[in-house]
Structure 1
Amino acid sequence: MGEFAPQEGNSGDVKILETFLASNPSVEYIRYQWIDYSGLLSARIATKSFALSLGRKESSLTIQSPILTALILDNSFLFEDFEVGQDELFADWSSLKICHYAPKHAMVMCFVKEGGHKDGKGFRRCPRSRLQEVCSSAKGKHDLDFLVGNEVEFFIFDESSGTPKPIDMVANTYSAASINNKYLPIVEEMVECIQNVGIEVRQFHSEGGPGLFEISTEPMAPLQSADALVYCHETIRNISRKHGLHGTVYPNPFEKLSGVGSHMHLSMSRLDKHENFLAGLLENWRALAAFYMPNYDSNLRLKPEERIFWSLQNRTATHRKIKDGHWGLRGVDATANPYLAMTAILTAGIIGLEKEKSLTIKDPKRAVFKGIEDDEAMDLGILYKMPTSLKPAIDSLKAAEELKDALCPGLIDRYVKVKTKEEENFGKLTGVERRELSMRVF
């Protein structure tokens, strides 16, 4: 297995930082950010003088090894995997953005190079490096480009009493009544913050719950789309906090209210191969759930044993076909590491393309609210169901040999280890404890 590394010219151009600081003299701090295998956004904050010094010397910011792949969401560690040595953060200055939600701060997403004396992996297990690599490979081998648009759902709620409570507003989806309230200016501030860094917003609206909203962004290349999603989430959390509220993208903040998704629009440039690509997605979708629905409670927002199928302009399908080569992916939620999830999803589709897998599943051509009976599913070629919890998703991933080989067994083995430990730890907690823990970080 060869070394995966950031492409030349994408990460080290300190002139981008110098120009940025000259244009934004109020910035004093740079947040070096990365997302680990638990899905946690982490940051080291450097002064602008130190960031400039590192950039001019083309040096990295060092962190404990292997912090990328050994931290569990409940703040416990896989201590048996800690090694002597260090990991390195390499800033991708092309991702540099001013944090309009945090005065004096800017953020930059990083490539993580793993060190350690026993098992140094370089960039091979870095989610951001791997997403860049899979997109570059798809372009070089297949002349294939992708675009990804995000539907960013989130709840804003009140916890001033010490207990999370839905805010008082009309909850009818899309209704004018649901935005005629004091919370509209807060959502507008979020949208303006996001747009002010060049992330184009298409629209926003209320969803089916008190305090549930959605912001939809323009499609971007996969790496830039994942970066944008990180910025959107931080904006939602910080602007909410500024107004004395809590913003969360956790999938199930209130038991009796709608869940929170992070639906993704994925389009590809090679329309002659779109059915092969979709076949690869559908075949691996159950295993991929370990990446795109990775929280212990992710499945609570779905119907039990939901069927995996595609359908034209059908919002009840796991894969809503909008047109040839353009799909809405409904299962994804915001506890996913967006770089890992997108890497895995694209890899599964490319497997279908390269192996010329046939699209054997037929469109049921109807909305599916009560499920599909076994006989009909068999006639339509619908063979797979969504996993009912994180554990069967992990088991499916471990059994997906083609996907494991394509993604790199070392990456899969460590990811499975992290998520297995997380599933074990969270299984010992009550629903309220799990919800409180996850909403602190998501």
Structure 2
Amino acid sequence: MNILTKEDVLEKAKEYDVKFIRLQFTDIFGSFKNIAITVEELERALSFGVMFDSAVIEGFSQNKESDIYLLPDPSTFVIFPWRPRNGAVARLICDVYNSEGELFAGCPRAALKRVLKEVNQLGYRPQSAVETEFFLFHTDAQGNPTKITHDQAGYCDLTPVDLGENCRRDMVLTLESMGFEIASSHHEIAAGQHEIALKEDDVLFMADNLSTFKFVVRTIAQRHGLHASFMPKPMADLSGSGLHLHHSLWQEDKNIFYAHSHTDCLQLSKIAYYYIGGLIEHAGAFTAIANPLINSYKRLTLGKLAPALAAWSEQNRSTMIRVPAQRENDTRIVLRSPDGTCNPYLVFAVTLKAGLEGIKNKINPPAPLEDNDLHGGFKKLVRTHGLPRSLDEALSALASDEIIKDALGEQIWSRFIEAKEEECERFHATVHQWEIDEYLRYF
């Protein structure tokens, strides 16, 4: 990642003829927000911040908040390559501060920074890579998304079967021009489904990039006349879309999840095992953050290679954690259960906190589940290892987990639960087409 100063940003804005700057941030549900300023206001914004009314930002406050400020992080300065070069548009990601000059309790980026400080104080440097899946759908004459997938291709298919190749290429080229390091991209299993993977980097930088990633992918798709959706399960008969988070911990230039051993065939360190133990211990609670939609739980079902089990394995794709075969500095723990609708800052905050608690309390994980463990019966596995099966169940776990609450902070924790419980109530009060098809003719 590039470390830019205030002076660097002012110089680049002048060099590239930037006229508008979008000061970007997220609400607690992960929606990208922005306030636009002209370049003439850039120096003042970098020095003193920009006041805004958080009452209009869902998740920050129910009442009007005075003296809340967006303070741009200079290291996040990027020019949007799809905008005109004359009078260019750039972005800066912001932290939110209160009038006392402290990070605002409702700021998701601040929550992640608090957890990262705790990790750093123990001498660890966390890194993450991500694999992000999404669908491309056709739009109607008014530009609204339809349920018609852009193609009927399958896993790693090529043109002309993969009709999304040109759109995906433009996404990758745009992301790279903005400083993203792309590991790979390909067509996924389902029709119209795609994956783009980002290379490993520091966690805060990755969270910033993930927020921008979704914005860029949807923008480029729109320019191709398509709609990009990160909805976990948009079609009942197609595979769902996930967000795989690769976790590793480092001390200086050494990956401390790896340990050469003559007795442990997996070559994992005790710290790696404890980290896995912490993730499994707190899986129920952080699932509410990692899988924040009612629709998220249509994806987390056994039998379709979906990560439905709070367990770990090298090969079993039904477990939420997989440990790939690479070792030494490539050793990593892949958390497969989150989906692309989560708030990147909060999902990193809660999963890092869970892993850290595993290390602090030396939580040993259960034995790994192998492929043949699935033959023991789906219902039994769900009872003994299952992740929450609904958003209601996940919210109940979140409400009783003090460790995950501490990672979020009281304000984000309470507002998230309140808003999501209201969402569940609206869902339960709605009569769905399935109920009509199933019951109306008989009762």
Global fold match (TM > 0.5): yes
Counting only pairs closer than 5 Å after superposition, residues 14-413 of structure 1 correspond to structure 2 as 14-25=6-17, 27-55=18-46, 58-67=47-56, 70=59, 81-103=62-84, 104-114=88-98, 122-140=103-121, 142-161=122-141, 164-167=146-149, 169-176=151-158, 180-269=161-250, 270-271=256-257, 272=269, 273-303=271-301, 306-322=308-324, 326-359=332-365, 361-366=366-371, 372=377, 383-405=384-406, 407-413=408-414
Q: Percent identity?
A: 25
- Structure 2, unpaired ranges of 5+: 251-255, 258-268, 434-443
State the Cα distance separating 1:122 from its structure 2 match. Answer: 4.1
Given that residues 16 and 94 in structure 1 are in contact (C-alpha distance below 8 angstroms), is that contact kept between their aligned partners in structure 2?
no
Query: Given the superposition, is the C-alpha separation of residues 368 and 51 from structure 1 closer, same or farther in structure 2, using an over 3 Å criterion?
Result: farther
Decide whether aligned partners of structure 1 residues 222 and 37 sit closer, same or farther in structure 2, where only a CA change above 3 A counts. Answer: same
Structure 2 SS opposite 1:308: strand
Alignment correspondent of 1:7: none
Q: State the 4+ residue runs in structure 1 displaced beyond 6 angstroms.
A: none
> How big is the shift at 1:398?
0.6
Question: How many Å separate the matches in 2 of 1:82 and 1:50?
Answer: 28
- CA shift digits 1:102-152 (9 cap, x unpaired): 443211111112469xxx984333211221232232122x21111111112
- Provide closer, same or farther for how the CA distance between residues 374 and 293 of structure 1 changes in structure 2, counting only shifts above 3 A: closer
Q: Separation in 2 of the partners of 1:347 and 1:172? A: 37
| Per-residue CA distance 1:22-43 (angstroms, 9 max, x = gap) | 3322x32111111111221111
Amino acid at match of 1:169: D
Tell me by how many angstroms 1:168 deviates: 5.0
Change (3 A) 1:168 1:24: same
Report the residue type matching 1:92 in the other structure. D
The amino acid of 1:385's aligned partner reads G
TM-score, normalised to structure 1, is 0.83
Distance 1:310 1:94, change over 3 A: same
TM-score, normalised to structure 2, is 0.82
AA aligned opposite 1:20: K
Deviation at 1:191, TM superposition (A): 0.3
3-state SS of the aligned residue for 2:70? strand
Paired residues of 1:280 and 1:352 also in contact (CA < 8 A): yes
SS where residue 200 of structure 2 aligns?
Answer: coil
Q: Distance in 2 between matches of 1:229 and 1:395?
A: 27
Relative to structure 1, the CA distance from residue 45 to residue 331 in structure 2 (aligned partners, 3 Å threshold; closer, same or farther) is same
**Cα distance change of structure 1 residues 60 and 429 upon mapping to structure 2, 3 Å threshold:** farther
Partners in 1 of 2:137 and 2:289 — Cα distance?
27
2:232 and 2:82 map into 1 onto residues whose CA distance is: 23
Q: How many residues align?
A: 401
Contact 1:34 1:41 in 2 (8 A): yes
Partner of residue 265, structure 2: none
Change (3 A) 1:168 1:132: closer
Q: Is the 8 A contact 1:66 1:115 kept in 2?
A: no
Q: Give the letter aligned to residue 306 of structure 1.
A: A
Return closer, same or farther for 1:351/1:125 CA change in 2, 3 Å cut-off: farther
3-state DSSP of counterpart to 2:196: strand
Distance 2:128 2:391 in 1: 25
The SS at the match of 1:295 is coil
Between the aligned partners of 2:227 and 2:58, the Cα distance in structure 1 is 28
Q: Output the amino acid matched with 2:318.
A: T
User: Contact 1:149/1:266 (CA < 8 Å) preserved in 2?
Assistant: yes
2:216 & 2:114 partners in 1: Cα distance? 28
Q: CA deviation at 1:266?
A: 1.3
